[in-house]
Amino acid sequence: MSQDTTPPSPRIAALQHEIVVEGSSAIERFWTEIGRVGAPLIEPLDHRRRLVTFVWRGADVRNVLLVSGLTGFDFGANLLTRLPGSDVWYRTIEAPSDVRTTYRLAPNDPLTLPAQVSDWEERTHGWLPDPLNPAVHHAVQYTDRGNDVPAPASVLELPDAAPQPWVAPRPNTPAGETELLSFRSATLGNERRVWLYTPAGYDPTAGPYPLLVLFDGFAYTHTIPTPTILDNLIAAGRIPPLVAVMPDSVSRAARDAELTCNPLFTDVLADELLPWAGAHRSITTDPSLTIVAGSSYGGLASAYAAMRRPEVFGAVLSQSGSYWWKPALDDEPEQLIREYEKAPRLPVRYYLDVGLLEDHSVRGGPSPVQSNRRMRDVLHSKGYDVHYAEYSGGHDTVCWQGTLADGLIALLGPGTRERL
Hey, what amino acid is at 367? S
Cα–Cα distance measured from residue 265 to residue 274, given in angstroms and rounded to the nearest whole number: 12
The domains found in the chain, sorted by start residue, are 3-157 (2.60.40.10), 177-419 (3.40.50.1820)
d(CA 90, CA 94): 14
Residue among 259, 173, 265, 263 nearest 219 (CA): 259
Evaluate whether 235 touches 170 at the Cβ level (below 8 Å). yes
Q: Report the pLDDT value the prediction gives residue 2, as an integer from 0 to 100.
A: 42
Q: What does the pLDDT look like over 289-316, one tens digit per residue?
A: 999 999 999 999 999 999 999 999 999 9
Rounded to two decimals, the pTM is: 0.94
**pLDDT, position 150:** 82
> Digits of tens for pLDDT over the chain (420 positions)?
444 578 999 999 999 999 999 999 999 999 999 999 999 999 999 989 999 999 999 999 999 999 998 987 777 779 999 999 999 999 999 999 999 999 999 999 887 765 555 566 677 778 999 999 999 999 877 666 555 678 899 999 999 999 999 999 999 999 999 999 999 999 999 999 999 999 999 999 998 999 999 999 999 999 999 999 999 999 999 999 999 999 999 998 899 999 999 999 999 999 999 999 999 999 999 999 999 999 999 999 999 999 999 999 999 999 999 999 999 888 899 999 999 999 999 999 999 999 999 999 998 899 999 999 999 999 999 999 999 999 999 999 999 999 999 999 999 999 876 666
Alpha-carbon distance 105 to 67, whole Å?
A: 6
Residue 3 has a pLDDT of 41
Per DSSP, helices labelled H in 259-334 are 263-268, 274-280, 297-308
CB distance 153 to 129 below 8 Å: yes
Looking at the chain, the whole-number percentage of residues with pLDDT higher than 70 is 94
C-alpha distance from residue 49 to each of 7, 104, 355, 398 (Å): 11, 22, 17, 21
State the DSSP H helix or E strand holding residue 211, giving kind and residue range, or none if neither.
Answer: strand 211-214
Q: What is the pLDDT of residue 189?
A: 96
Evaluated on CA atoms 310, 316, 318, 324, the torsion sign reads: positive
Q: Quick: pLDDT tens for 147-205.
A: 567 889 999 999 999 999 999 999 999 999 999 999 999 999 999 999 999 999 999 99
pLDDT score, position 378: 98
Distance between CA atoms of residues 147 and 252, nearest Å: 8
Contacts for 102 with CB less than 8 Å, ≥ 6 apart:
68, 69, 137, 139, 153, 154, 155, 156, 394, 396, 398
Report pLDDT digits (tens) over 16-29.
999 999 999 999 99
* pLDDT of the residue at 359: 95
